[in-house]
A and B are shown apart, each in its own frame.
Chain A
Amino acid sequence: MQLESMYQEIILDHYKNPNARGLREPYDGESFQVNPTCGDEVTLRVKVDGDNGESRVTDVSYDGQGCSISQASVSVLTELVTGRTVREACTTMEAFVELMQGRGQVEPDENVLADGVAFAGVAKYPARVKCALLGWMAFKSALVEAGQSPEANGVEVT
């Protein structure tokens, strides 16, 4: 059945038992993102320590409501970026965005995306790609608000 290709066990696990849920202090940047077509919402905060180029994501917390894809995606995000340098986190973000916009034609690199590879099946459903990217859009905006844009950390964003 096609459904299993979208709803990998990893996604369902993160949906039922999400990481890092609940907004925390202190933080340097916060972003609220909403998908206007369905009303899914994510508010995400980042704490970043260190200077541009060397800076590191030391905490990510979020709250939100929405479908399994949007909420599992933001839960996976916290695993992929917390403790990493901003540069590494943004490189991962780029890989995830590329995967999601690839209409199922992009082969994901598990070394970069870890649990994020589970979303490969979602990329075949254009209407759900926005769900998977909602948390990542919040992450990117929160970084910018924290003065840590991907570009400032040497990552080209497409």
Chain B
Amino acid sequence: MTTSTVDHEQRHVPEPLDVAALRADFPILARTVRDGSPLAYLDSGATSQRPNQVLDAERSFLTTCNAAVHRGAHQLAEEATDAYEHARATIAAFIGADVGELVFVKNATEGINLVTYAMGNAATAGDEAARFRLGPGDEVVVTEMEHHANLVPWQQVCRRTGATLRWLGVTDDGRLDLDDVPEVITDRTKVVALTHQSNVLGTINPLAPVVRRANEVGALTVLDACQSVPHGAVNVAELGVDFAVFSGHKMLGPSGIGVLYGRRELLEALPPFLTGGSMIEQVWMETSTFAPPPQRFEAGVPMTSQAVALGAAVDYLSAIGMDRIAAHEHALTEAAVTELDAIDGVRIIGPTEVVDRGGAVSFVVDGVHPHDAGQVLDSLGLAVRVGHHCAWPLHRRMGVPATVRASFYLYNEHSEVERLARGVREAQRFFGVV
């Protein structure tokens, strides 16, 4: 394992986070819910909370230099464009990409759809786009642990083009089944799309053997990095993936802003998805030519204050240090897995060995439906996610209709893990199963 992945085998012990101090940056964490219980926010896997620094950056942009970027020549337009492009550079550096390799999108879901629709458009684009064409006989490979966002768009592009969808399986303990790799990823494979870190299981996937095999057969790799980029150091160039996506709102940034990373030579050859203003080079009545990336993929006036605020979120995370954040979450995860596993009638859905494992801890409680367990936890001030977490096929694979998921971030405390375990015991008591 290299340091380019979310590496929990720390080679040094990072300085512990001062969680109490940084919690002061997040006003929402001080509120109470449901008749005065202090909020324990354990749903950062769904969306994270935002620190004052991010809120202030967005407000400051809007109160000083708001304008439509890449258009006007007035001073505000210049400053707004600079702020927007500065954010792009900050975020690109954060993930080890060049600035031209980073496309702003609405969220990771849109990023995946951009890739799938652009691949669909390759059929009628020039020869430079030939490698993106999909058709009958071609195969797209995903995994059984994908979020719907990295599954449904691939199902759809296969339907439109006649390509076939295949997938890598998941083992009983929630790891990617690498035994399938040689058989599933073949010369017919055009794309391998997989998650870096499961939003349900917490599993951090070993990318090296998958990327190596994809390279062997000439397949493109698309990484869903939604649950990895916010939680540890990720370097897309070192990982060797062709595309990667992540969402701003899961990493202390605003909703409505996300990122598509694409290797430069690929973005240069990829046809556009959304077309219109900003993304053109020249336009006549009959036809148009398109701008180089990343502008080719940013049609219309983009999300601007949101991009600036995401840049501020990256600054905030970088100032703390991703290795420290990863170490903190690793400790919380270890505590949560240990505490929950010790409760009779609780089963963790995902690896119980806290190695290559991020801070999403999903579980079921015998005799208490996840919805009901979540309601008891909510009544105690614990905000967890219940349901299938947009990974319905994975839940079927694991033999459960739904789970309760606690997910951790830099602002969570060990006392919240203890409250979680007490809350689960309270749910068992309330529903009379103990």
**Interface residues, chain A, with chain B CB atoms under 8 Å away:** 1-3, 6-7, 12, 37-41, 65-69, 125, 128, 131
Q: Which of A7, A66, A69, A125 contacts B401 (CB 8 A)?
A: A66
Give Cα A125–Cα B378 distance, bound, in whole angstroms: 11
Give Cα A98–Cα B372 distance, bound, in whole angstroms: 23
Interface residues as binary, B384-395 with A (CB distance below 8 Å gives 1, 0 otherwise): 001110001001
Q: Which of B372, B388, B392, B430 contacts A67 (CB 8 A)?
A: B372
Contact across chains for A6 and B375 when beta carbons are under 8 A apart: yes
**Interface residues, chain B, with chain A CB atoms under 8 Å away:** 34-35, 369-372, 375-376, 379, 386-388, 392, 395, 401-402, 430-432
- How far is the CB of A82 from the nearest CB of chain B, in Å? 25
Besides A7-B372, A7-B375, A38-B387, 14 other A-B contacts (C-beta < 8 A): A2-B35, A2-B379, A3-B379, A3-B430, A38-B386, A38-B402, A39-B388, A39-B392, A41-B401, A66-B371, A67-B371, A68-B371, A128-B375, A131-B371
Give Cα A128–Cα B392 distance, bound, in whole angstroms: 20
- How far is the CB of A71 from the nearest CB of chain B, in Å? 8
Contact across chains for A68 and B430 when beta carbons are under 8 A apart: no
Q: Which of B387, B402, B431 contacts A12 (CB 8 A)?
A: B431
Contact across chains for A2 and B369 when beta carbons are under 8 A apart: no
Chain B CB within 10 Å — which of A7, A39, A41 has the most? A39
Q: Which residues of A contact B371 (CB under 8 A)?
A: 38, 40, 66-69, 128, 131
Contact across chains for B379 and A39 when beta carbons are under 8 A apart: no
- How far is the CB of A34 from the nearest CB of chain B, in Å? 10
Q: Which chain A residue has the least Cβ–Cβ distance from B390?
A: A37
Contact across chains for B402 and A39 when beta carbons are under 8 A apart: yes
Q: What are some 22 contacts across the A-B interface (CB < 8 A)?
A: A2-B379, A3-B375, A3-B376, A6-B375, A7-B375, A7-B430, A12-B431, A12-B432, A38-B371, A38-B386, A38-B388, A38-B402, A39-B392, A39-B402, A40-B371, A40-B402, A65-B401, A66-B401, A67-B369, A67-B370, A68-B371, A69-B371
Give Cα A7–Cα B375 distance, bound, in whole angstroms: 10
Give Cα A37–Cα B392 distance, bound, in whole angstroms: 10
Give Cα A40–Cα B392 distance, bound, in whole angstroms: 12
Contact across chains for A66 and B369 when beta carbons are under 8 A apart: yes
Q: Which chain A residue has the least Cβ–Cβ distance from B427?
A: A3
Q: Which residues of A contact B392 (CB under 8 A)?
A: 39
Q: Which residues of A contact B375 (CB under 8 A)?
A: 3, 6-7, 125, 128
Q: Which residues of A contact B35 (CB under 8 A)?
A: 2
Q: Which residues of B contact A41 (CB under 8 A)?
A: 401
Q: Which chain B residue has the least Cβ–Cβ distance from A2?
A: B379
Contact across chains for B395 and A39 when beta carbons are under 8 A apart: yes
Q: Which chain A residue has the least Cβ–Cβ distance from B371?
A: A67
- How far is the CB of B36 from the nearest CB of chain A, in Å? 11
- How far is the CB of A18 from the nearest CB of chain B, in Å? 13
Q: Which of A2, A66, A69 contacts B34 (CB 8 A)?
A: A2
Give Cα A27–Cα B212 distance, bound, in whole angstroms: 56
Q: Which residues of A contact B386 (CB under 8 A)?
A: 38
- How far is the CB of B158 from the nearest CB of chain A, in Å? 22
Chain A CB within 10 Å — which of B372, B392, B395 has the most? B372
